[in-house]
Structure 1
Amino acid sequence: MTHIEKTIRYDVEAPSADGLDARLVVERGSFRLDVALTAAPGDVVALLGPNGAGKTTALRALAGLVPLAGGHLRLDGAELDRTPPESRPVGVVFQDYLLFPHLTALDNVAFGPRCHGVGKAEARAQAAGWLERMGLADHAAAKPRRLSGGQAQRVALARALATHPRLLLLDEPLAALDARTRLDVRAQLRHHLADFEAVAVLVTHDPLDAMVLADHLVVIEEGRVVQRGTPADIARHPRTDYIAHLVGLNLYRGEAEGHTVHVDGGSTVTTSEDLTGPVFVAFPPSAITLHRDRPTGSSARNFWRCEVSGLETHGDQIRVALGGELPLAADLTTVAAAELDLHAGAEVWATVKATQTHAYPA
């Protein structure tokens, strides 16, 4: 089944008895998590959110490592609320992999089947098969300290999959890898998840990991869901500042009257959409053009007088933070920033064409 087919199925079909149906209510001191999750077999769901939002707490609740204060947890129609962690059909890949240092890669993977009553010889035969699938057949005798970060991640994934779980939990599975290794392992993980026939739930702070690996995103802030949808929908229609920053957009909330949006704070934005009522309006930093003097003869419908509040390198460009009547983030080439003689405190004019904005109901 393709990534697109899985996404369409998730959006149009009602939840069935198969797959995950959970409402996770966890109370820890003053923090309260209340998150609903549903997914069909074959779906990959990514939990996104800032530090302290409750992503890892939700994952640990699914694994049975944190008790529920309320709600429910059903997997393939079976109630798991009171099922001990070791008895759940759940596989977990932790951020630091937690491989047994004294065991070889082969015996690390065989550990799961052995715990489920499989004989030693058969468990090792199954483990060898999983290592071959992961491209690690030549490292079966290696202990974790002899493995690279990418190899250790694949051994941990093989160990989780070797028990044939109905729910696979991945806690920041690529966070410990360097940028080059992450690129390769992300592609490999995408391939393995595409073949996984049960539910996978991924916790990550990296939007690229989420966009590449997941069919469906659930964004959590302060213990509650603030947005859910396909990666494309969330990237195009962010509904909080955190999500807008995550996908790299300027985002404002306001009241629309036709093509004019009166933004909270008093400024206005002209858009190509004709709407009425509460809306969000968004546009990328790359859509902004900066001028030292008020431009004349420009086709842009939006003009704002701003002051440079900061500059930082952003990939191969310069990200300019702007204060004033409308706080903005603009991306410029290094040459453009130098020609404008940009520095903290410099006054500039920012312009954006109406066709480069996107307004949608709040």
Structure 2
Amino acid sequence: MTVRAGRDGGAGGDGGAGPDAGLDARLAVDRGAFRLDAGLRARPGEVVAVLGPNGSGKSTALRALAGLESLSAGRIVLDGCDITVVPAERRPVGMVFQDYLLFGHLSALDNVAFGPRCAGAKRAEARAQAAELLERMGLAEHASARPRALSGGQAQRVALARALAVRPRLLLLDEPLAALDVHARASVRSELRRRLAELDCATVLVTHDPLDAMVLADRITVLESGRVVQEGPPGEVAQHPRTGYVARLVGLNLYRGTARGARVAVGGAAQAEVFVSEQCAGEVFVAFPPRAVALYRERPDGTPRNLWRLRIDGVERFGDQVRVHLDGHFPLLADITPEALADMRLSGGMRVWAAVKATEVRCYPA
């Protein structure tokens, strides 16, 4: 999708300097029983990733920003201008779809020139601008190629150039790496990060992949059931998850409980205690990585402060580790080596001891 820019200038235009520059939106969309009600903000030059499970409202939010979905309430302000009721084709927005949606009958050059031509530029002017963008993307030698002759990474860069050709103040990326195979993702992800760092427009990236979000984004907004449940820099979100979904994404065991000193009561009706290495009080989260969990067939000597008798609910390979799913007082994940699994002869239904050092447990306000 390409939509016409509302100002002159380069890919970033001149809207990035004022105090109201960037995106400030509150999106409320009703679709049957589902309601999206979320705030999104992005400064010029900033990449904001929107993460969330299927059905959380990620795509609805992106379509609302593009003008392809009507708001039930709220507004979209871009560089201080309210564009809530501006038609999609007149918004200073560029969009890269998940499958790129390049025109198969046009060359890479003419795909990129399409937006400026729709905005009224003469053919020669539009093609000159397109050639410059393809040069910047490292695709000058592919200008005459049709989309079917391009690799996945090349097609993505053409789609990005096409979105930038309309000189957007807001760039929208919908699962930009989803169409690539696993071998191409790493290199294309790195290349995309470099390209995004060169822009001074606000960028909103929708993805379900936490690695894409961590590598590409300056800030992450997490949606669940149409609501923002967490936002912040990638490192902060990874270190301090606030929902089970986020904890699973970043690979942490997470529990909410009530702290008194170094003890945290968690687990609801079947309460258990988690010991931490610091003094805490009130409602808190406690989190620790699966690799911090040690498993024993017999009760270990020395009795670590965090020691629970749990049942093995399942065992699966996880990279070069084995992930053991445990249940009992509360669900728990433990990562052990294949050698440890074989030595202990662990299997589903077996009861084991799980231990975690208090120094491995993070505690932070809920």
TM-score category, normalised to shorter length: over 0.9
Could you say which residue in structure 2 is the equivalent of 1:242?
245
Instruction: Tell me if 1:122 matches 2:135.
Output: no
Q: How many angstroms does 1:187 deviate by?
A: 0.5
TM-score (norm 1): 0.94
Aligned with residue 306 of structure 2, among 296, 302, 305:
302
Instruction: Tell me if 1:270 matches 2:244.
Output: no
Instruction: Tell me if 1:199 matches 2:205.
Output: no
1:320 and 1:257 map into 2 onto residues whose CA distance is: 30
Instruction: Tell me if 1:358 matches 2:362.
Output: yes
Could you say which residue in structure 1 is the equivalent of 2:331?
327
Could you say which residue in structure 2 is the equivalent of 1:311?
315
What aligned pairs does 1:130-209 form with structure 2 within 5 A after superposition? 130-209=133-212
1:255 and 1:16 map into 2 onto residues whose CA distance is: 41
Kindly indicate whether the alpha-carbon contact (under 8 Å) linking 1:73 and 1:81 is maintained by their aligned counterparts in 2: yes
TM-score (norm 2): 0.93
Kindly indicate whether the alpha-carbon contact (under 8 Å) linking 1:16 and 1:40 is maintained by their aligned counterparts in 2: no
1:262 and 1:82 map into 2 onto residues whose CA distance is: 50
Q: How many angstroms does 1:16 deviate by?
A: 3.1
Q: How many angstroms does 1:297 deviate by?
A: 2.2
Q: How many angstroms does 1:163 deviate by?
A: 1.3
Partner secondary structure for residue 106 of structure 1: helix
Could you say which residue in structure 2 is the equivalent of 1:348?
352
Task: Give the counterpart letter for 2:283 in structure 1.
Answer: P
Instruction: Tell me if 1:281 matches 2:271.
Output: no
Instruction: Tell me if 1:292 matches 2:297.
Output: yes
Aligned with residue 80 of structure 2, among 74, 77, 81:
77
Q: How many angstroms does 1:179 deviate by?
A: 1.4
1:141 and 1:318 map into 2 onto residues whose CA distance is: 49
Structure 1: stretches of 5+ with no match in the other structure: 1-14
Kindly indicate whether the alpha-carbon contact (under 8 Å) linking 1:106 and 1:140 is maintained by their aligned counterparts in 2: yes
Kindly indicate whether the alpha-carbon contact (under 8 Å) linking 2:27 and 2:39 is maintained by their aligned counterparts in 1: yes
Task: Give the counterpart letter for 2:302 in structure 1.
Answer: G
Structure 2: stretches of 5+ with no match in the other structure: 1-17
Task: Give the counterpart letter for 2:133 in structure 1.
Answer: W
Kindly indicate whether the alpha-carbon contact (under 8 Å) linking 1:93 and 1:170 is maintained by their aligned counterparts in 2: yes
Q: How many angstroms does 1:41 deviate by?
A: 0.8
Q: CA RMSD in A?
A: 1.0
Could you say which residue in structure 2 is the equivalent of 1:337?
341
Partner secondary structure for residue 110 of structure 2: helix
2:318 and 2:179 map into 1 onto residues whose CA distance is: 22
Could you say which residue in structure 2 is the equivalent of 1:216?
219
What aligned pairs does 1:15-94 form with structure 2 within 5 A after superposition? 16-94=19-97
Kindly indicate whether the alpha-carbon contact (under 8 Å) linking 1:256 and 1:277 is maintained by their aligned counterparts in 2: yes
Kindly indicate whether the alpha-carbon contact (under 8 Å) linking 2:267 and 2:329 is maintained by their aligned counterparts in 1: no
Q: How many angstroms does 1:67 deviate by?
A: 0.3
Aligned residues: 347
1:325 and 1:81 map into 2 onto residues whose CA distance is: 49
Partner secondary structure for residue 295 of structure 1: coil
Partner secondary structure for residue 347 of structure 2: coil
Partner secondary structure for residue 228 of structure 2: strand
Q: How many angstroms does 1:38 deviate by?
A: 1.6
2:320 and 2:132 map into 1 onto residues whose CA distance is: 43
Partner secondary structure for residue 30 of structure 2: strand
Partner secondary structure for residue 296 of structure 1: coil
**Percent identity for Structure 1 against Structure 2:** 63
2:114 and 2:55 map into 1 onto residues whose CA distance is: 32
Kindly indicate whether the alpha-carbon contact (under 8 Å) linking 1:317 and 1:332 is maintained by their aligned counterparts in 2: yes
Runs of 4+ in structure 1 over 6 Å off = none
Task: Give the counterpart letter for 2:289 in structure 1.
Answer: P
Q: How many angstroms does 1:39 deviate by?
A: 1.8
Q: Residue deviations 1:111-161, cap 9 Å, x none? A: 111111111111111111111111111111111111111111111011001
Kindly indicate whether the alpha-carbon contact (under 8 Å) linking 2:42 and 2:204 is maintained by their aligned counterparts in 1: no
2:266 and 2:278 map into 1 onto residues whose CA distance is: 15
